[in-house]
Structure 1
Amino acid sequence: MNLRSTSRLIFKGVKLLSARAVTVRSMAYSIEERGSQYSLDYRVYFKKGDKYVSPFHDVPLYANAEKTVYNAIMEVPRWSNAKMEISVADKLNPIKQDVKKGKARFVSNVFPYHGYMWNYGALPQTWEDPSHMDPNTNCKGDNDPLDVCEIGYRVAKRGEVRQVKVLGCVALIDEGETDWKVLAIDVTDPLAEKLNDVSDIETEMPGFLAATVEWFTKYKVPAGKPKNNFAFNGKAMDKDFTTRIVAETHDQWEKLMKNQHSDPTSISRANTTVAGDYLVSQTDAAGVVATSPPPAPDTPIDPIVDKWHYVQ
């Protein structure tokens, strides 16, 4: 599918969780791409219907009344290298490409992995508070939404909003900050009924958890950084533990939006549906989008991005 389309349908309501059917709220999102993909001016804005929304603040965390299915914003499709993420600092929090030394950032291919080994994204309405010392890791939060690794078979599209079930997590310590990586699977995936906790991943996908830890351990080494470390010696924590982490970071987000937290100047809380001091009109939201350059052809990618890196 051509990613240069300025607007596309992202998802429809889905069903199923574990052995019983679960009603999932039906909602449809689209994206509007601005600028040139793989350049510093590239932005992906979100809409619900014809209204602009923030993927950080306006997309609900929970996709069903039972709070057992979660919405997940897909930032990086599996097997791709462009380091895309929700911008917490920009108004309406568009997805944009991370920057390294003034250039668009791409993750290295650390043999035998090509790009990201899962669909990578974020859980909306969560926030890892940089002033909160996590008792599990003895490190503070990284000031971002929770990261999520969606492990289903279908390669995601950037900006897709998927409904997932949480299975577990690993606790990456990234440059002294807690950076939880939530493991989840699309509820429509053929394996979803069999995967209900982190232990099921090893049963149905042997070696996958070890490969996940290895990827996060090594992926920054080609850029000259040391290997990453983990809390719990890299052990993947179970579903119950992970859902508590998700709930805690959702609570931290709620306090952020209710001004029950010291004002973090690096966070834009502008939203179009969440009541509060940071609500903006659709006219203002459209004005934010209009400040980005119009869609343009993709910026060529340096072939060096495809290089294999071998990390001992």
Structure 2
Amino acid sequence: AQSGGGGGSRGRLMSYSTEERGSSNTLSYRLFIKNPAGKYVSPFHDIPLYADEAKNIFNMVVEVPRWTNAKMEIATKDALNPIKQDVKKGKLRYVANVFPHKGYIWNYGALPQTWEDPGHKDCNTGCCGDNDPIDVCEIGSKVCARGEVIQVKILGTLALIDEGETDWKVIAINVEDSEAQNYNDIEDVRGLKPGYLEATVDWFRRYKVPDGKPENQFAFNGKFKDKDFAITVIKNTHDDWNSLMAKTTDEGGLSCTNTSISNSPFLCTEAAAINIVDQTPPCGATEAIPAEVDRWWYYEKN
């Protein structure tokens, strides 16, 4: 079984697959992840953080493909942490198209084996973590698939303060991108994709306004921090995840069930994992996305 840290170059050779359960665009929808051997795994806990630790190549779980609106996320409180759509007040969440943006403007997802501890005040931002894996905005040309596991180079990070919580947004690029070799730090994004970083700040600042919420705030006055800073943040959240899995930190409602971490008190058998999936409805017919999701919102920037 894999130890908590993952690591090595083996992660890059792994090919994960997905299995849909329930009906798309409904509350029942779940997307489970399988490892190369076809066994169910937790995308939160079982996929190694590092694809190649020596080269600082990381695994990323894609939750939301670029240009789509459904706010999909790793279900941190559900056993095996399938990907599901976020829900607010009993309704599925879709991000609004706030002009000039259409849905998510990157492939959006998370780094496995990381955790932003809500009990730990970040020394850089003065705010505690948001209780989730660390978020990634992947800026390559390919539109990825929901549940896809890709390998990324880290370029920098933005520190969003979301309703008083630290919510790091890591900027990265798929190592398979044809231009990946040209991107090695955050300033390369500024030079090679003019306006993209500014659009990213604008997107995060305003995306909740159509829901009646105020604009989001940022640490560092909305300035991006560089690759080395971002990697330090990632390593710190990986250490916090290790504490979570070793039960030296209270899991606070999160599901730490995993199928591969030999020293974890939350390790489950393959049969138990199959039983978890079998408790969810089988794949059903796709429901229509509400017409309101296509609306384009206009408002003056503050």
TM-score, with normalisation over the residues of structure 2? 0.94
Q: Does 1:91 align with 2:74?
A: no
| Residue equivalent to 1:164 | 152
Q: Does 1:58 align with 2:46?
A: yes
| Residue equivalent to 2:272 | 284
- RMSD of Structure 2 on Structure 1 (CA): 1.1
Q: Residue by residue, what CA displacement relative to the aligned partner does 1:118-155 show, whole Å, maximum 9, x if unpaired?
A: 00000000000000000100000000000000000000
Q: Equivalents in 1 of 2:142, 2:272: separation in Å?
A: 36
Alignment of 1:180-259 (within 5 A): 180-259=168-247
Q: Equivalents in 2 of 1:25, 1:225: separation in Å?
A: 40
Q: Equivalents in 2 of 1:189, 1:265: separation in Å?
A: 38
Shift of 1:23: 8.3
Shift of 1:65: 4.0
Q: Does 1:43 align with 2:30?
A: yes
Which of 117, 122, 127 aligns to 1:139? It is: 127
Which of 14, 21, 24 aligns to 1:34? It is: 21
* Distance change >3 Å, CA 286–CA 166, structure 1 → 2: same
Counterpart secondary structure, 2:200 = helix
Q: Equivalents in 2 of 1:302, 1:52: separation in Å?
A: 31
Shift of 1:24: 6.3
Instruction: Confirm or deny: 8 A CA contact 1:73 1:160 kept in the other structure.
Output: yes
Q: Equivalents in 2 of 1:197, 1:217: separation in Å?
A: 23
* Distance change >3 Å, CA 29–CA 23, structure 1 → 2: closer
* Distance change >3 Å, CA 65–CA 135, structure 1 → 2: closer
Instruction: Confirm or deny: 8 A CA contact 1:218 1:311 kept in the other structure.
Output: no
Shift of 1:50: 1.8
Instruction: Confirm or deny: 8 A CA contact 1:221 1:311 kept in the other structure.
Output: no
The list of structure 1 runs, each at least 4 consecutive aligned residues, that deviate by more than 2 angstroms after superposition, is 22-25
Instruction: Confirm or deny: 8 A CA contact 2:12 2:151 kept in the other structure.
Output: no
Alignment of 1:2-21 (within 5 A): none
Counterpart secondary structure, 2:254 = coil
TM-score, with normalisation over the residues of structure 1? 0.91
One-letter identity of the residue aligned with 1:214: D
Q: Equivalents in 2 of 1:110, 1:203: separation in Å?
A: 25
Give the fraction of aligned pairs with identical amino acids, expressed as a percent: 57
Instruction: Confirm or deny: 8 A CA contact 2:11 2:50 kept in the other structure.
Output: no
Q: Equivalents in 2 of 1:77, 1:304: separation in Å?
A: 19
Q: Equivalents in 2 of 1:209, 1:25: separation in Å?
A: 28
* Distance change >3 Å, CA 249–CA 292, structure 1 → 2: same
Shift of 1:265: 3.0
Q: Residue by residue, what CA displacement relative to the aligned partner does 1:69-96 show, whole Å, maximum 9, x if unpaired?
A: 0000000000000000001100000000
Q: Residue by residue, what CA displacement relative to the aligned partner does 1:19-43 show, whole Å, maximum 9, x if unpaired?
A: xxx9863011111100011111100
One-letter identity of the residue aligned with 1:260: T
Q: Equivalents in 1 of 2:253, 2:193: separation in Å?
A: 39
| Residue equivalent to 2:102 | 114
Q: How many residues align?
A: 290
Shift of 1:311: 2.4
| Residue equivalent to 1:148 | 136
Counterpart secondary structure, 1:193 = helix
Q: Residue by residue, what CA displacement relative to the aligned partner does 1:141-195 show, whole Å, maximum 9, x if unpaired?
A: 0000000000000001000000000000000000000000000000011221111
One-letter identity of the residue aligned with 2:71: K
